[in-house]
Copies of this chain bind each other. A is one copy, B any other.
Amino acid sequence: MPLPSHSRSVVEEPATRSVTRRVLSVLDVFAGERGWLTLSDISRRTGMPLTTTHRLVGELVSWGALERSHNGRYQIGLHLWAVAALAPRGLELREVAIPFLEDLSETTGRQQVRLAVLDGMDAVLVERIRARGAGSAREPTGGRSPAHATGDGLVLLAFAAVAVQERYLAGHQPGAGLRRALAEVRRTGFAMSDQIVSVGAPVRDATGEVIAAVSIVVGPHGPRPSTLGPAVVVTGRTISRALSRRAEGG
């Protein structure tokens, strides 16, 4: 395996690094973005000159990381989706969790059941069992909500790294109430949210780290949220156990 000489790597490294960051900063513009963006939008949001943006976007389109609409706007491309769809945290988690999510939904009168992970400051929906009669008004997989707004998000935040929690609390009014709520989640092992009426519980990997959260969103004629804690916690533990079994098997 040829190794670059020391002098070559010193010359090459800063430029390389900055190009990689630029490529990723273009992709970041589309995180949580469902609309199609113009080159100017991308240039403005990345802070890159229009010519650099144009060149990078062109390369990303030709690989399939972005696609260009008939009216010259851009969105994430099919090839990137296809490459990323097999991400293990999305995929294994969903494969393992789906039957248990369905059981939880069935045994609680077909409430909406969510499985979410923390990405930055947001709870990102990995899978969802729709409530009975919810029709087509479905939040898509990959959809984001502020972590404090849902039972699953509160759980993810409560068990996140302290630095993440502090950053979240600093940007959130009123921080004190949320701080107490997170401490309560860690004490009881589940979260009740009344913003979006829901009950959440953690999903852990084989090392005990919280990697996801399951929640029930309770409809207006659903059961009292306070009665649902045990069922949600049991579902979280069952999924955690199934993940650990699979980790041992692999």
Q: Which residues of A contact B (CB under 8 A)?
A: 1-4, 9, 13, 15-17, 19-21, 23-24, 27-28, 30-34, 36, 43, 49-52, 55-56, 59-60, 63-65, 67, 70, 75-91, 94-95, 98-99, 117, 119-120, 124, 136, 138, 140-144, 207
- Known A4-B49, A9-B51, A31-B82: A75·B88 in contact at CB below 8 Å: yes
| Chain B residues in 8 Å Cβ range of A1 | 43, 49-50
Asked whether B87 lies within 8 Å of A55 as measured between CB atoms, the reply is no
Cα distance, A49 to B4, chains bound together (Å):
8
- Using A20-B23, A76-B83 as known contacts, list a sample of 19 further A-B pairs with CB atoms less than 8 Å apart, ordered by residue number in A: A3-B49, A16-B19, A16-B55, A23-B23, A30-B86, A64-B119, A76-B84, A76-B86, A77-B89, A79-B119, A80-B87, A81-B84, A82-B144, A84-B85, A85-B124, A86-B142, A86-B143, A91-B141, A95-B140
Asked whether B88 lies within 8 Å of A49 as measured between CB atoms, the reply is no
| Pairs of residues from A and B, 5 with the lowest C-beta to C-beta distance, nearest first | A85-B142, A81-B87, A84-B84, A76-B87, A19-B19
Cα distance, A51 to B10, chains bound together (Å):
12
Q: Output the nearest chain B residue to A33 by Cβ-Cβ distance.
A: B86
Asked whether A59 lies within 8 Å of B2 as measured between CB atoms, the reply is no
Asked whether A90 lies within 8 Å of B119 as measured between CB atoms, the reply is no
| Chain B residues in 8 Å Cβ range of A84 | 76, 80-81, 83-85, 142
Cα distance, A50 to B9, chains bound together (Å):
12
- Known A63-B24, A76-B83: A51·B4 in contact at CB below 8 Å: yes
Asked whether B138 lies within 8 Å of A95 as measured between CB atoms, the reply is yes
